């Protein structure tokens, strides 16, 4: 559906084209001179930029167009020797293929540019307009491909990871239009995961345009040894989704054999559902998610990759929220472990931090929200709760606040809005933070830490915390980030003495908390993960995405 602004814009451009077309028949005899075109470009830049009302983050690309034309003295980009540079045709082809990156060609004015290119005898004004519009399209696409089209914070306040770069802007200062167009592919995120996702998007788009979904009829659980048409449907669907490769070997399509079971197990693993090799209700429901829906999910995750830095640090901590894991990329080695993340009502935000220090045997200063929502109800039920669990109570959050006797306070008379005390849990084996706290200072007060609740790591879905990230093996984590330094010995001594110590890290480490619902696995197949925090729906609402068929006219 075209927005009011876009609809108005298309009317304006159409009117502009028709008016210019009629004038060309009356006045154009000789090809326009370069000086005529250059002068007209200068006249048209501001006018055309204003006509193309900035949408979302597009004010930045449009301003860059104006600056680039000023820098080149308003010399046209796409007109050379009184002729249209052939690279503009290549640009249009690239823009029309933008859907293969999950972007929509309608944003890049391809039909408008093609209308100008179809003019047999364009006037200086028409050539100038085409030059500016083509540059706007090039710049917008370069920006979107490099940094993403949408502002993440406008989509989700808990998504605070946005690392824009200026690589796309440099493209406008290359010496030729050919160089600008040829440089566009270099702006895509270079991470292999983006490249694989993009190829799978093309696969799903091609499938959707050429084939209908093969759905598995609902019914009883299908397992090895079963026979019938539903088994044939199951096999055909797994072939369609890439879990079974086509073979020349003859197969009884309606027989559930070991090969089909193995394929189904692969499917279940990469969709994070119970792995049993049988097609029960949950598995069939997942199998029957339409290809078009899967294509949309891939586009959301391609956009998320474009919000990340163009180059990731070799040494980094990568908290993969939808996989419930932390991956330590340190000194050329990868170490991974399970984590517990924030429950849906207390989402762990997406952001980047810099880990600078760790704390052994930490004191837990309870955040206001947790004190109001968790501690207060427990105190109202049991006034001795703080004493039993090793907490100290202070009159306020100010320095030098007086320590109070929690058993002498009538907690039932205190409401959440009037709770102003400071609660601190002292270091011991029951402390909510365990033996370690790993700090990367941030406005969200999120950090990684140990936990006494080890049983939660046995669960498949591990969204149980109040927002911070709990580590399965914090000792190993601490060892890795202090390896080969004096800090490792400091840590060991502090643990043995059970002292509450702050240890500065020998090297500060970038920490990424990321959220992807579609991720390539080690075999290059796609994992479709549970959307724990329902962030895909926010992407759907913001992007207004509808599956793009390149054969449709805009």
Task: Tell me the CATH number at 221.
Answer: 1.10.101.10
Q: Do residues 167 and 100 lie in contact, with contact meaning Cβ atoms separated by under 8 Å?
A: no
- For range 468-478, the mean pLDDT: 96
Measured over all CA atoms, what is the biggest interatomic distance in the chain, rounded to whole angstroms?
98
Q: Is 20 a catalytic residue?
A: no
Residue at a domain's end among 376, 393, 426: 426
pLDDT of residue 385: 94
State the average pLDDT for the chain: 88
Q: Are residues 414 and 452 in the same domain?
A: no
Q: Is residue 206 part of a domain?
A: no
Domain total of the chain: 4
* Domain harbouring 451, CATH code: 2.40.440.10
Q: Are residues 347 and 455 in the same domain?
A: yes
Q: Are residues 347 and 450 in the same domain?
A: yes
Measured CA distances, 294 to 153, 234, 286, 517, 550 (Å)? 24, 18, 11, 11, 18
Whether 58 has a pLDDT exceeding 70, the answer reads no
Q: Are residues 278 and 417 in the same domain?
A: no
Whether 327 has a pLDDT exceeding 80, the answer reads yes
Which of 115-119, 280-284, 482-486 has the lowest average pLDDT?
A: 482-486
Nearest Cα to Cα of residue 472 among 279, 328, 305, 312:
328
Helix (H) or strand (E) holding 424: strand 422-425
Q: Which neighbouring-strand residues pair with 316? A: 329
Q: Is 12 a catalytic residue?
A: no
Residue with tokens 């050429």, as numbered in its chain: 210
Give CA angle at 323 (162, 351), nearest 5°.
20
Domain assignment of residue 462, given as a range = 313-363+429-515
Q: Are residues 176 and 285 in the same domain?
A: no
Whether 1 has a pLDDT exceeding 50, the answer reads no
Name the band, by pLDDT with cuts 50, 70 and 90, for residue 2: very low
Q: Is the model more confident about 44 or about 196?
A: 196
Q: What is the pLDDT of residues 411-443, one digit of tens each?
A: 999 999 889 999 999 988 788 999 999 999 999
pLDDT of residue 399: 87
Q: Is residue 297 part of a domain?
A: no
Q: What is the pLDDT of residues 329-375, one digit of tens each?
A: 999 999 999 999 999 999 999 999 999 999 999 999 998 889 999 99
This prediction's pTM? 0.86
Whether 206 has a pLDDT exceeding 90, the answer reads yes
pLDDT of residue 38: 53
Q: Is residue 341 part of a domain?
A: yes
Helix (H) or strand (E) holding 519: strand 518-520
Q: How far is CA 511 from the centre of its chain?
A: 16
- For range 205-216, the mean pLDDT: 94
pLDDT of residue 147: 94
Q: Is residue 305 part of a domain?
A: no
Q: Are residues 440 and 411 in the same domain?
A: no
pLDDT of residue 32: 53
Q: Are residues 8 and 79 in the same domain?
A: yes
pLDDT of residue 82: 75
Q: Do residues 277 and 264 lie in contact, with contact meaning Cβ atoms separated by under 8 Å?
A: yes
Q: Are residues 218 and 339 in the same domain?
A: no
Q: Are residues 381 and 359 in the same domain?
A: no
pLDDT of residue 16: 40
Q: Is residue 528 part of a domain?
A: no
Q: Is residue 154 part of a domain?
A: yes
Q: Are residues 345 and 484 in the same domain?
A: yes
Q: In this structure, are strands 83-84 and 79-80 parallel, antiparallel, or unpaired?
A: antiparallel
Q: Are residues 15 and 157 in the same domain?
A: yes
Nearest Cα to Cα of residue 197 among 328, 329, 306, 335:
306
| Burial (0-12, 13-18, 19+ Cβ within 10 Å), 524 | exposed
Residue at a domain's end among 426, 445, 467: 426
Residue at a domain's end among 410, 426, 442: 426
Question: What share of the chain has pLDDT > 70, as a percent?
Answer: 88
Whether 25 has a pLDDT exceeding 50, the answer reads no
Q: Is residue 529 part of a domain?
A: no
- Between CA 126 and CA 116 the distance in angstroms is 7
Name the band, by pLDDT with cuts 50, 70 and 90, for residue 543: confident
Q: Is residue 45 part of a domain?
A: yes
Q: Are residues 15 and 76 in the same domain?
A: yes
């Amino acid at each position: 559906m075209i927005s009011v602004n876009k609809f108005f814009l298309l009317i304006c451009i159409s009117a502009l084209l028709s008016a210019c077309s009629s004038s060309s028949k009356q006045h154009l005899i000789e090809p326009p001179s370069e000086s005529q075109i250059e002068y007209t470009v200068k006249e048209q830049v501001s006018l055309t930029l204003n006509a193309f009302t900035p949408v979302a983050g597009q004010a930045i690309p449009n301003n860059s167009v104006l600056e680039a034309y000023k820098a080149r003295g308003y010399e046209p980009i796409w007109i050379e020797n009184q002729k249209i540079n052939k690279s503009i045709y290549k640009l249009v082809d690239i823009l029309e293929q933008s859907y293969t990156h999950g972007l929509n060609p309608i944003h890049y004015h391809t039909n408008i540019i093609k209308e100008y290119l179809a003019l047999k005898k364009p006037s200086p004004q028409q050539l100038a307009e085409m030059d500016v519009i083509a540059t706007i399209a090039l710049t917008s696409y370069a920006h979107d491909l490099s940094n993403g089209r949408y502002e993440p914070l406008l989509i989700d306040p808990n998504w605070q990871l946005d690392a824009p770069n200026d690589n796309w802007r440099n493209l406008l200062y290359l010496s030729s239009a050919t160089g600008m167009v040829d440089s566009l592919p270099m702006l895509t995120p270079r991470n292999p995961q983006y490249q694989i996702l993009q190829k799978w998007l093309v696969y799903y788009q091609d499938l959707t345009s050429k084939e209908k979904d093969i759905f598995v009829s609902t019914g009883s659980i299908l397992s090895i040894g079963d026979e019938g048409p539903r088994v044939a449907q199951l096999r055909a669907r797994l072939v369609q989704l890439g879990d079974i490769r086509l073979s020349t070997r003859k197969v009884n399509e309606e027989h559930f054999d070991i090969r089909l079971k193995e394929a189904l197990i692969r499917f279940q693993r990469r969709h994070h559902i119970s792995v049993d090799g049988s097609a029960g209700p949950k598995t069939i429901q997942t199998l029957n998610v339409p290809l078009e829906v899967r294509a949309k999910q891939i586009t959301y995750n391609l956009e998320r990759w474009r919000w990340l830095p163009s180059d990731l640090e070799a040494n980094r901590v990568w908290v993969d929220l939808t996989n419930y894991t932390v991956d330590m990329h340190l000194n050329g080695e990868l170490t991974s472990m399970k984590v517990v993340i924030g429950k849906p009502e207390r989402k762990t935000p997406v952001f980047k931090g810099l880990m600078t220090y760790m704390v052994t045997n930490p004191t837990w200063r309870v955040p206001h929200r947790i004190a109001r929502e968790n501690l207060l109800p427990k105190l109202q039920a049991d006034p001795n709760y703080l004493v039993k669990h090793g907490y100290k109570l202070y009159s306020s959050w100010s320095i030098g606040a007086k320590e109070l006797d929690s058993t002498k306070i009538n907690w039932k008379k205190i409401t959440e809005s009037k709770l102003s005390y400071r609660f601190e849990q002292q270091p011991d084996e029951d402390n909510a933070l365990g033996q370690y706290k790993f700090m990367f200072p941030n406005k969200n007060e999120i950090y990684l830490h140990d936990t006494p609740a080890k049983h939660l790591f046995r669960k498949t879905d591990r969204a149980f915390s109040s927002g911070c990230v709990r580590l399965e093996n914090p000792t190993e984590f601490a060892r890795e980030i202090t390896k080969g330094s004096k800090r490792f010995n400091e840590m060991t001594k502090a643990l043995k003495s059970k002292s509450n110590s702050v240890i500065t890290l020998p090297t500060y480490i970038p920490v990424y908390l990321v959220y992807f619902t579609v991720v390539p696995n080690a075999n290059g197949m796609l994992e479709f993960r549970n959307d724990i925090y329902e962030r895909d729906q926010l992407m759907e609402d913001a992007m207004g995405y509808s599956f793009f068929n390149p054969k449709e006219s805009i």
